[in-house]
Structure 1
Amino acid sequence: MAGYDIRILKGLLDSYERSLLSQGKNKVNVHISFPFTRKNLPEYFNESSLAYEKIHGSVRVLEEQELVTAVWKNGKEGHIIEKVLLNDKNVAEAYAYLNRKPRREYVRENLELLEEAKERYQTPILQGFLAYLQERLIEGKSVKEFIDIEKPDKTRKILKAVGELENNREDCYIREFSIRHFGNSKTLKSMLGVVRKILQRFGEGFEDMDDCGILAEYSVYHTPDYVYIKGMGELIFGEDLSTVVNLTWLKQGIGLSGEDIGRVRILENSKIKKILTIENLTTFFRWKEKDSLMIYLGGYHNSVRRKLLELLHQSFPEAEYLHFGDIDVGGFEIYRDLCRKTGIPFKTYHMGIEELEKYKSCTQKLTEGDCKRLEVLIRKMESEGGDTRVLQYMKEKGRKLEQEGIEQT
């Protein structure tokens, strides 16, 4: 743990940088203080601790350097310290004591870094993020939710990760991507938390995705990405497309890797009348649908599933395209995302008012978060001319239903 002199002085400079005094905008005489409270310095109030004398010694050292002034309780010097005041005439010396640069210097360095990234990556999400950081830094606001301005090298890597992900067009694994752009197989993984937060905040359609789902949207995978399909249809593959697999032979279907999707075809004379995407795996395994090809979507679709759906739509333009998901906000957000990103006119399947009424005993109450997201989704779909009757019913009744609660008829 840092010495008490470091802790106290660091606390004072942190307060100084949050104040107008550091920006030269103060209009009244103010003093930056570090109050001795049980929250700031709990050891000072522990009678069984030896910290009391050590703290007094640290304060004396800082006073000798003319960096601070101690304020004693009831004016009794040497008894109990009430607070410590920063000597604003020697702020530069205080920074030097901590071997720390003033915030304005870090801000300048970070603004230069943002300009570099702005020129290098012309990608929409990163550009939005850079504009956000730039505005807040110029206004003297905090950006610690996303970056530490005292660690520009780490910030540079974060910006590079987002920009390179948005630019990526090649299927690869996360370790390969990390080696390629950072020279270390673990670097990207160590930043996934903040990268996900940036993509979710400044992108669209990532709200409910986990790390794997978001990376897959940019063709970066933890492990080979498989698409599970079953039902009607005959797969043909091989160099001469001579090998045929009839899906009706396989009760639970087959998994195709992302690399193989482009090399597999489904006979166009297959009697497929419906293409049905299913959100959850349990329902995919148990569901049966006549004259249909069923695809496990796994929540939000990604580039691999989108590639398959686009190939199917080219081969079977007359088929009925249906999506079967949870009757909740997430389910309809996934449905909306599916329609928008594939351009295929999907219709919802077993996601109506009838199911909410029929399986009322299986429904769950909407959470406060559900209600907020529902309001946003209703506004979005209304602005797009979408059908919001089910959403309005959910809002009115305050209920939602997972697709596993719907029985096969």
Structure 2
Amino acid sequence: MDDLQRKVLNCLLDSYEKSKTFRGENQVNQSFSVNIGKLFPKYCDDAEYECFCQINEAADELSSAGLVILEYEKSGVLKKIRLNPEQLERCYGKLGRMPRKREQETLLHLWDEWSERNRGPEQTEGGADGTLLPLIRYIAAQRIRLKKNQNVEYYNHDLTEYKELLLAAEAVLRNQEEIFIRNISIRLFQDSKRMEQLEHKIGALLYQYGEFQEKDFVFEECGIVHTPTYVMVKGNGKVRLGGQELDLSLLEGDIALSSESVKSLENIVVLGTRVVTVENLTSFHDFCAGDDFVIYLGGFHNKSKRDFILYLYERNPEKEYRHFGDIDAGGFYILEHLKRKTGIPFRSLHMDVKVLQKHESHTRPLTANDRKRLGQLKEELTERVSAGELMEDYRNVIDYMLQHGCKLEQEAVFGS
């Protein structure tokens, strides 16, 4: 079977599988056909005689095999190719294509097995801590799509790849340590590059059904990295590791601790009264630490930085915890993400109306997406205020930004 014939049969079967007849909802007989001129535009081009002949020959072979029925114009030119409903199984067989009903049953069985495997004797599906909640939501949504005969998201009719996708996504969610992506790939697939090939699709799936803030950094947030990560700190504090104590207050600049160094920390003492995380690298360098202990966050923080911050907080819970970021939707979402993931009562720093007014000449206009995200954030804050869950209410900043159509990058605060 050549490529032209495969294209025709696949198109006819796609049409059949999307129909009410396939779902058993149709009251009358349906026929399924393809218009040759639409499927192969060159067929109607007088300059493409060779293509015209090839398509006619391919169609004649399908017709002779009894798989399709041909319809012609009065001129004798092929008009439509109609599927022979009595030869459905043979069509699937010729293509090596799994019938949709069997495919749907296979997927349902696969999801049932996954759900059963991840339901312990004394816990809810996916674990009592909700580790696998994004995958649980995803599978629940796909069951609904299947009932409506819709395509399954992130599935391209390759069951082997799909099983690998679910296996890898589960491993990402369960990961509890920083690990190189190629190492976890070897562990799962005995192939150092397979995880990288699946990374984009897994990231999109977990972003859509989880609570990750950026699609491109899902793996890093779960501790799966391409290269070693570092935590950059400076200011008024002491760090002890490897039997040695380093007094940061005596240094002019900052230091960077690798993820391995973070694991071997023996103590952190904040000498001042305040810990400050800073969103962007330029602002981290510009920020005068003074009496503060300052940590470079780098946007939505990864696992190494979260581990470091939690270790620091455990030993210095009485300190004041602040976050300095961009005064825009992204900056506030980073703050909320930091609070949610660490459970530490961070409050904003230099992210208020006075700062916007002071640096008005350096503000930038809001985009339509900015307005949408700020509106969503305000709704979330309002709900939390009503529930008595909000420690810091900065809705007045959001109102000011929306009214004046402005936002401010943090680099303007100390760099202008």
Whether 2:85 is the aligned partner of 1:110: answer: no
1:266 offset after TM fit, Å?
5.1
Mapped partners of 2:89, 2:354: distance in 1: 71
Q: How does 1:1-400 map to 2 (within 5 A)?
A: 2-38=2-38, 40-49=39-48, 50-73=50-73, 75-77=74-76, 79=77, 81-121=78-118, 122=126, 123-143=132-152, 145-148=153-156, 150-204=157-211, 206-210=212-216, 213-238=217-242, 241=243, 243-265=244-266, 268=269, 271-385=271-385, 386=390, 387=393, 388-400=395-407
- Higher mean Cα deviation, 357-366 or 320-329? 357-366
Show CA shifts across 1:72-125 (max 9, x none).
Answer: 23x322x2x332221222222222222322111111111111111112232212
Mapped partners of 1:98, 1:237: distance in 2: 63
Number of aligned residues: 396
Root mean square deviation, CA, Å: 2.0
Native 8 Å contact 1:125 1:199 kept in 2: yes
- Aligned residue for 1:407, secondary structure, equals helix
1:267 offset after TM fit, Å?
5.5
1:398 offset after TM fit, Å?
2.5
Mapped partners of 1:64, 1:237: distance in 2: 79
What TM-score do the two structures reach when normalised by structure 2?
0.89
The 1:408–1:368 alpha-carbon spacing in structure 2 relative to 1, beyond 3 Å, is closer
- Aligned residue for 1:322, secondary structure, equals strand
- Higher mean Cα deviation, 86-95 or 186-195? 86-95
1:209 offset after TM fit, Å?
4.8
2:123 corresponding residue in structure 1: none
1:392 offset after TM fit, Å?
2.2
Structure 2 spans left out of the alignment, 5+ residues: 119-125, 127-131
Mapped partners of 2:52, 2:357: distance in 1: 68
Aligned residue type for 1:182: F
The 1:265–1:52 alpha-carbon spacing in structure 2 relative to 1, beyond 3 Å, is same
Runs of 4+ with deviation above 4 angstroms: none
Aligned residue type for 1:184: D
1:401 offset after TM fit, Å?
1.5
1:265 offset after TM fit, Å?
4.6
Mapped partners of 1:171, 1:120: distance in 2: 25
- Aligned residue for 1:30, secondary structure, equals coil
Native 8 Å contact 1:233 1:266 kept in 2: no
Show CA shifts across 1:106-163 (max 9, x none).
Answer: 11111111111112232212111111122212321112x4112x21111111111111
Mapped partners of 1:391, 1:221: distance in 2: 34
Mapped partners of 1:363, 1:2: distance in 2: 61
- Aligned residue for 1:244, secondary structure, equals strand
Native 8 Å contact 2:185 2:193 kept in 1: yes
| Counterpart pick for 1:401 among 375, 383, 408 | 408
Native 8 Å contact 2:180 2:226 kept in 1: yes
- Aligned residue for 1:380, secondary structure, equals helix
Mapped partners of 2:37, 2:281: distance in 1: 54
- Aligned residue for 1:251, secondary structure, equals coil
- Higher mean Cα deviation, 390-399 or 342-351? 390-399
Native 8 Å contact 2:234 2:289 kept in 1: no
1:222 offset after TM fit, Å?
1.5
Aligned residue type for 1:261: V
Mapped partners of 1:317, 1:305: distance in 2: 17
The 1:17–1:209 alpha-carbon spacing in structure 2 relative to 1, beyond 3 Å, is closer
2:122 corresponding residue in structure 1: none
The 1:296–1:63 alpha-carbon spacing in structure 2 relative to 1, beyond 3 Å, is same
Aligned residue type for 1:147: Y
1:44 offset after TM fit, Å?
1.4
The 1:274–1:9 alpha-carbon spacing in structure 2 relative to 1, beyond 3 Å, is same
Structure 1 spans left out of the alignment, 5+ residues: none
Native 8 Å contact 2:286 2:414 kept in 1: no
Native 8 Å contact 1:209 1:300 kept in 2: no
What TM-score do the two structures reach when normalised by structure 1?
0.91
Mapped partners of 1:108, 1:21: distance in 2: 18
Native 8 Å contact 1:31 1:85 kept in 2: yes
Native 8 Å contact 1:278 1:298 kept in 2: yes
Q: Percent identity between the aligned chains?
A: 34
